[in-house]
Amino acid sequence: MCSYNNIMDLSYELLCILFFIFNINTATCFSKFKTVTQSSGYSDSIFLDSLQLLQSYNYSSEKHVVVTEDGYKLNIFRIPRKGSPVLLVHGIGDSSDSWLVLGPKHSLAYQLADAGFDVWLFNARGNRYCKEHIKNISQKLFWDFSYEEIGSYDLPATVNYILSETRYSKVSYVGFSQGSTTFFVMCSMRPEFNKKINHAILLAPVAWLKHTKYPLIDFFSKSLNILTWIAETQQVYEAFPFNEKLNLYHASVCDTLSPVRMLCELELFVNFGLQKLSNLLPEKLPVITSHIPAGTSSKVFLHFIQGYSTQRFQRYDYGVSKNLEVYSSTFPPVYDVSLVSAPVTLVSSEVDWFSDVEDVSILKRKLNSVAKSVHINGSLQFTHLEFVYGARVNSVINKPVLNILEGLRKK
């Protein structure tokens, strides 16, 4: 039976949720959530950025600024070691934090560094770490990018920078979700970069979206014209920005002691199909959820929705007239993944809503350089977020990734 205090906490948190939904002044709730998270023992980790997370575990760390050909300033982070370089590339609306928030016992970045690899943590334009341009351009111009620009500008600039700094001729690549999409863009649109990739391990790879099981995808697809109109005319340029107040709310409701923890469970199920919070290290959930989302452009999401609507892995669709101007064609060209010649390992799960095994099979048939393809059995119920944030990530993901990279190092 609930105590009086628990009932009061429940009522208070539900009221605060309404404040968030209807954009009412949240100062009081902010203070309440801050108190709750401090009492949970995670207050420090909740507010730490990538460099601070690394430093909190006594890992050497560096920040590097990479400038792209089109003028975006990317802050990327490094755990310097004497071994060969490995680039970790985050998913949609995420950041370098994703490879760090679980700590050394579970996060891949620390384990790669412990194994002697020189670890580089990528950040895409538009996320919390990459909000600057070398010129004073308008917000409309700044946010006018999809995942194509991340793949054709951000990744190449980062790869070149790493190779210049380390004096290696190739970098190993680990990409999660959109981190695989942008890899395919880079290696198909700028095929010269295939020679700069030692091996690409692609976790929950996303290219074709024909069979995605995300429950709202049909709604978004049918509403695509309206969503595009809203983004363009109502100046909704940024999607899911990093927001400290919202992150504190997530940290509060996802705390193991929260009386409204079912809200955390519901959100993660609706968005990612997560069956049990225990699959995401419950004690780390306040830290995980206080670091996501990290922001991206609305155009990135529209581009993915277009892929589902057309059932093609293609460039951004601007409409007939602008397509003619940009592509000299009424339809956007497809990304020719047959040009990907760097060796790749594909890792997918049978219950992943976003990287469906049937779509991965389409991808695999079109690629010419698949060294290995791994399907995680559906009986494990291993969902999308678990590739990076999962309680079982060591045995299912990290150890196999380390084994592949260790094997390459011995050659």
Condensed to tens digits (0 to 9), the pLDDT of residues 152-189 reads 999 999 999 999 999 999 999 999 999 999 999 999 99
Active site residues: 177, 384
In 3D, which of 311, 51, 353, 317 has the Cα closest to residue 177?
353
pLDDT of residue 411: 73
Tell me: pLDDT of 226 over 80: yes
pLDDT of residue 44: 63
pLDDT of residue 15: 40
pLDDT of residue 21: 40
pLDDT of residue 96: 98
Q: Which two tokens stand for residue 330?
A: 């009424």
Contact 90, 295 (CB under 8 A): no
pLDDT of residue 43: 55
pLDDT of residue 409: 87
Contact 325, 234 (CB under 8 A): no
pLDDT of residue 132: 98
Q: Which two tokens stand for residue 26?
A: 């949240």
For the CA atoms of 151, 153, 159, 160, the dihedral, rounded to the nearest 10 degrees, stands at: 160
| Tens digit of each residue's pLDDT (9 = 90 or more) over 307-343 | 999 999 999 999 999 999 999 999 999 999 999 999 9
The whole-angstrom separation of Cα 406 and Cα 222 is 46
The whole-angstrom separation of Cα 280 and Cα 34 is 22
- What's this model's pTM, rounded to 2 decimal places? 0.91
Tell me: pLDDT of 35 over 70: no
Q: How far is CA 342 from CA 38, 188, 294, 397, in A?
A: 46, 11, 29, 21
The whole-angstrom separation of Cα 110 and Cα 79 is 8
88 burial level (CB within 10 Å; 0-12, 13-18, 19+)? buried
Helix axes 4-21, 244-253, angle to 10 degrees: 150
pLDDT of residue 259: 93
pLDDT of residue 196: 98
Contact 6, 207 (CB under 8 A): no
Q: What percent of the chain has pLDDT over 70?
A: 89
Give the mean pLDDT of 294-303. 97
| Tens digit of each residue's pLDDT (9 = 90 or more) over 106-160 | 999 999 999 999 999 999 999 999 999 999 999 999 999 999 999 999 999 999 9
As a whole number, the mean pLDDT across the chain is 91
pLDDT of residue 25: 43
Confidence of residue 80 (pLDDT cuts 50, 70, 90): very high
**C-alpha count within 13 angstroms, C-beta hemisphere, residue 252:** 22
Q: What percent of the chain has pLDDT over 90?
A: 86
Q: Which two tokens stand for residue 167?
A: 């004096």
DSSP letters, 199-266, are: EEEEES--S--TT---TTHHHHHHTHHHHHHHHHHTT--EES---HHHHHHHHHHTSTT-TTHHHHHH
Confidence of residue 410 (pLDDT cuts 50, 70, 90): confident
CATH of 59-242+293-410, one of 3.30.450.90, 3.40.50.1820, 3.30.365.10, 3.40.47.10: 3.40.50.1820
The whole-angstrom separation of Cα 176 and Cα 392 is 16
Count of CB atoms within 10 A of residue 34's CB? Answer: 18
Count of CB atoms within 10 A of residue 330's CB? Answer: 11
Q: What is the largest CA-CA distance in the chain?
A: 68
Ranges of each domain in the chain: 59-242+293-410
Q: How far is CA 402 from CA 108, 199, 305, 398, in A?
A: 9, 12, 33, 6
Q: Which residues contact 360 (CB under 8 A, 6 or more apart)?
A: 205, 346, 348, 373, 375
Tell me: pLDDT of 207 over 90: yes
Rg of the chain (C-alpha set): 21
Confidence of residue 6 (pLDDT cuts 50, 70, 90): very low
